Structure 1
């Protein structure tokens, strides 16, 4: 019999709708029930494509004995972290503070007033060295609650109080810019040089990336370094991006058959991925490789752009025109009888030499094993290997045929599940990437896909002038949009406006940014992650650091700056400056966690350039190929209004140089590198 999750829209919650656990969604009624029964709340947070979430669900939440114990002693709440990033943020801070680490699944025990008193991540069904079993944890919490409830409630209140105090101090307390301070004092060229030097010190010069295992794709840092290289001519910044992108694209983290990137590499060499494919990673990486190609003309970078765009459209696009959140890491291994079928991580993507021979025949199978690095010992689990491509094969035609045959064979295997909810922020990232890539690589179908996603966000996610976080099957969810939703969607719409010339997208982006300024503003010049009328949690979330996506603050700062460049609004530029200035201490300390803020700062220091193309279609694409950091390029709108003479006008703060009319002049003024 389904539990209380059966009517939810989240695929993750629906995965648990048939558990014997009597799950509740996050709602006031759940906490009221805990108060009525006098029991604690067990909060479990995860997401649909999370491998270890599936493992814990199978081991514990599907077990009727464990579920009965949970139902008897707790009110159990399931949260999709992708639907409720605010809830996830608050209780992840608690988990990290109490345990020293975080991750998903996240398990937090709360009082009926939502105050946390114990937390962890994955708990196994049986004890392991240094780790109790999930049942032991449950029993210990119940015993403590029954014998020391007053002490636990006092501890929970103290944790909540400390959390609120830490949030009030902020990660850069005492160092934030005043709302009126200029960027020159806070984010000077020497500061960004220091940030880049810090990144260089952490750079893996052999394998690319920053730090050791596990390695996540450094999308936002790469954008910062590309802009720094363009502004300063620093060759090492460009080299760090080029090496990292090449190693990622040639390693197992990149799908060598169908394009698209897995979420991260479990090792330092990009060999074995954590196999889920996330929309946010692929949207950002598509844009990084596009900008790398624009800066270098790299054929590999252009190939990755084309393949990743094809992956987005083929595997993540929804019937309503949006983009689904993710593909799962797990799939049922091929040939396993249905009665014994249990999904395994990477089952759809891993190969053996025998499997290659079966798909391709003896000769091509042996050749494929050599070029893709598939060995008898294996690079993954159980003697299997993840496909890599250390070098481009000399026989391009044979490679294309082998690749197509392996892709067809893989398509016949059981496939990973798809989390088909549409997240506003991540669709904003996809809109920006596809619109820009479509314009630069002359792929109008990509631009149309970006427009379709924008229409979905406008028609479904925008309710009474406010963004909703998610939708599924064209049905909008109830959760309010958070800061990153507004920032990333505005960024996507502003890019789409530049590419299409449609003024609607500029207007809508401006309206979203006005909501941000009215509803999310903080007293010190930055922004909170939730609106002033959002559900009150233990604290009002405000995360300055980038994670797998730009922080909401950095995303909004970038959109504000672009809007200012397109419209001439000094007010929007001033707000962008004050917001980015908050990141100066973090950029100086460790720019890995402030990559997008650094990219926006580079644009601020470069102008950014405002480029109006008037009646010069032959020069329009060339202008878009410029590497000037954060440049906007338009053929209509306020920048173009009143300019009668044809040509390309390069402006800063709406003060323009004389129009230019030749390709050579455009190349010089905008730093165009690639041949056309």
Structure 2
């Protein structure tokens, strides 16, 4: 059978459409063929921006000799983990259980019924060929043991999906989590633990919210120090804005160069909230530059945002981004090139590979005007280099994160262009990805794919729409968010009140995936908890709050035991403990805008707000909130029980403090 990936909508699968391996997409036909031929399944899972996925493809999947072995003895299935996170989740659990670690590319061998019996990640060509031979021999000569092993692994992993023991995330638990994080904090370089270091976006959001609720200086210091270190290091793109996926070292010097939408959306929101808390100029600059990166490099023609930029260019990691002193001089001239090299820590020995350096901005330039000109010239020169490929599929969940970040940043900075970008993205995702009341996971070139949305698609998109509703005052976004959350509650709720990752009518895998861990992005469970809590505060629906608290309790044990993997659950719990604090600003004109600005500068974790005319249709917070003496006024409410309206910014500031 020939390779059957040519008609895929996934950029990752399309990268493999010309392989001599007879790849198929995941589906019943592939497993039926494995049963008919009586051979095992080779499952390879990765994503378009993955460096080691590219390496294994070049070494093995593009090799005729390897392909001949695979085609003869296996049915080969290729899966884009970003398009099918449910498949990735269950087989990554198997890989981690079998090997003690995970990663991509993920390489699994399955029975024709889908049970995994061997798993790993990247294999060099020689080792991969040995593995193929060993698996074929085991399948031929020790079939009973192979089937028994697969059945045992599947049954064990099914047991891990048992209902969680509830653990409420009360105030004392949240404060204890800060203490735990303090013990893991890198006081010199920021961040937590050693190399490699990933941006702890959700943990930073939790620390900022904890500081806002308690005044903890340590919580703020850990968040601020980490944000500064990341923004000044090589992991941040000092020329084009935006963050790489992680740093391979502990000091944020050398990044793994892929740039992911989910990282940049979450970090944009974190730096926005840090600027709101502290007024820090560096945080504000990162907000502006990262938003520019999103709009310039990741926005699609339809208004959504692409998933990622590749880690390498023409097979070379860092080719687009690394510099030598000579290259700086070539662009800027002798004097300015040497000055830029000193400012950006570009050394003769190099901080990266082959004498090249990543760009760091460890100190502020002494001449901002000079640096702005030099940065513009360097970016223009870099744009003439070969550029990394873009994974241009639009993922529902990650676009929800982007909508939330752009809405928050646009509202705080008063930047209408960011609000317009958030709204255009929301229009596209809701109009294209919401099909017959159910979300689809992704689209490409404006055409939605067949993969069903998972829990984080519903939670993160609802979160984004609720942020957009508060930033724009448009009732539509609240209405759609409520509908999404209603569907998610009906279809994803687990026995313990938390949430499964997949709907009750989704394709059945060997186990129904479910995770309480917040890793690179919020888990579906904590994403839905956060959106439900916000929606409850905006609408006064107590049932939504109860569902949010049940989901938090289901995540509570993991989040309290290891806060680094429960960042969003902890952040949502801060809002639960502190709120709900509801503020409605009624009226229009300069006075209403001045009152709204005070509200948007508030750091209270449980605060929700809306600005609009009294009794605006579809907005519960504005109901029965009249103007005062014909002018604008602000109503500060707790649980829809309101204080007397205030009409001046000083009184509103006092009420919110």
TM-score, shorter chain, exceeding 0.5? yes
Deviation of residue 664 (structure 1)? 2.0
CA RMSD of aligned residues (A): 1.1
User: Normalising by structure 2, what TM-score?
Assistant: 0.97
8 A Cα contact 2:525 2:555, kept in partner: no
The residue that corresponds to 1:302 in the other structure is 284
1:224-282: per-residue Cα shift (whole Å, max 9, x none)?
Answer: 11010000011110111100000000000000001000000011000000000000000
1:555-595: per-residue Cα shift (whole Å, max 9, x none)?
Answer: 00010011001100011111111111223222321111111
Cα distance in structure 2, aligned partners of 1:515 and 1:497: 19
Cα distance in structure 1, aligned partners of 2:651 and 2:555: 36
Structural mapping, 1:516-595, within 5 Å: 516-595=488-567
- 1:621 lines up with 2:597 in the alignment: yes
Structural mapping, 1:126-145, within 5 Å: 126=126, 133-145=127-139
- Please, which moves more after superposition, 659-668 or 418-427? 659-668
- Please, which moves more after superposition, 415-424 or 498-507? 498-507
Deviation of residue 663 (structure 1)? 1.8
- 1:176 lines up with 2:158 in the alignment: no
1:463-492: per-residue Cα shift (whole Å, max 9, x none)?
Answer: 000000000000000000000000000001
Cα distance in structure 2, aligned partners of 1:251 and 1:361: 24
Structural mapping, 1:135-534, within 5 Å: 135-168=129-162, 173=164, 175-176=165-166, 186-332=168-314, 343-534=315-506
Counterpart secondary structure, 2:515: coil
* Residues 1:452 and 1:2: Cα distance change in structure 2 (over 3 Å): farther
8 A Cα contact 2:3 2:19, kept in partner: yes
Cα distance in structure 1, aligned partners of 2:650 and 2:216: 23
Cα distance in structure 2, aligned partners of 1:619 and 1:67: 66
Counterpart secondary structure, 2:76: strand
Cα distance in structure 1, aligned partners of 2:636 and 2:452: 39
Counterpart secondary structure, 1:49: coil
The residue that corresponds to 1:336 in the other structure is none
8 A Cα contact 2:248 2:256, kept in partner: yes
8 A Cα contact 2:577 2:606, kept in partner: no
Alignment match of 1:634 (pick from 597, 610, 618): 610
1:7-36: per-residue Cα shift (whole Å, max 9, x none)?
Answer: 010000000001010000000100000010
Deviation of residue 630 (structure 1)? 3.3
8 A Cα contact 2:236 2:244, kept in partner: yes
Deviation of residue 2 (structure 1)? 7.0
Count, aligned residues: 643
User: Normalising by structure 1, what TM-score?
Assistant: 0.94
Mind listing any 5+ residue stretches in structure 2 that lack a counterpart?
A: 613-618
Counterpart secondary structure, 2:548: helix
The residue that corresponds to 1:60 in the other structure is 60
1:591-616: per-residue Cα shift (whole Å, max 9, x none)?
Answer: 11111111111111111211111122
Cα distance in structure 1, aligned partners of 2:515 and 2:505: 18
Cα distance in structure 1, aligned partners of 2:356 and 2:333: 18
Cα distance in structure 2, aligned partners of 1:578 and 1:595: 17
The residue that corresponds to 2:47 in the other structure is 47
Cα distance in structure 1, aligned partners of 2:288 and 2:152: 53
Deviation of residue 539 (structure 1)? 0.7
List structure 1 segments (4+ residues) > 6 angstroms apart after TM superposition.
none
Cα distance in structure 2, aligned partners of 1:525 and 1:407: 50
The residue that corresponds to 1:6 in the other structure is 6
Mind listing any 5+ residue stretches in structure 1 that lack a counterpart?
A: 127-132, 178-185, 333-342, 672-676
Deviation of residue 308 (structure 1)? 0.3
